[in-house]
Amino acid sequence: MSASLRVRDYMTTDLVTVPPQTDITYVVQMLIANDISGVLVVDDSEVLVGILTERDCIATASSAGYYDELGGPASNFMTAPAETASPDENLVDVAIRMTDSPYRRFPVVEDGKLVGLISRRDVLRALGSGSWFPKNG
């Protein structure tokens, strides 16, 4: 496997973020409208404070069903702290961590700021590009 593969070369930088006070019902609409499976929760300085996924929203809705009430800030329902990666981290190392993790995506943080997102799909894209393994012959 190539040691030169870096997270920064395959991460997504077009991110959907929300502030912690965003209502979860709005987040659900964002997930649907943008056809995404999670949003990154950041503070006013673009520092990652958590991640809110489809799984989090469904778990919240299931619990809320008993009380006929759904709502509240994203910060109440997000996963925090999120498992993160560094942009200069070796992609193979991140792939190994992903196989041991229940999370399908890791926010990418540099100098305390959110700079991207690396997902299992991004890792597969690297694998499919042919650059994962050295060329023979």
Residue 47 lies in a domain: yes
Report the number of distinct structural domains present in the chain: 1
- Per-residue burial over 45-77, b if 16 or more Cβ lie within 10 Å, else e, is eeebbbbbbeebbeebeeebeeeeebeebbbeb
- Return the higher-pLDDT residue of 62 and 15: 15
Residue 51 in contact with residue 82, Cβ under 8 Å?
Answer: yes
Tens digits of residue pLDDT in 24-38: 999 999 999 999 999
pLDDT confidence of residue 131: 64
Residue 132 buriedness (CB in 10 A; 0-12 / 13-18 / 19+): middle
In a domain, 137, yes or no: no
Per-residue pLDDT tens over the stretch 52-107 = 999 988 888 777 655 556 678 999 999 999 999 999 999 999 999 999 999 999 99
Residue 133 lies in a domain: no
Rounded to whole angstroms, how far apart are CA atoms 49 and 80? 7
| CATH number of the domain within which 31 lies | 3.10.580.10
By C-alpha distance, which of 79, 78, 83, 85 is closest to 118? Answer: 85
Q: Give domain status of residue 136, yes or no.
A: no
Domain region containing 102: 7-128
Asked if residue 119 belongs to a domain, the reply is: yes
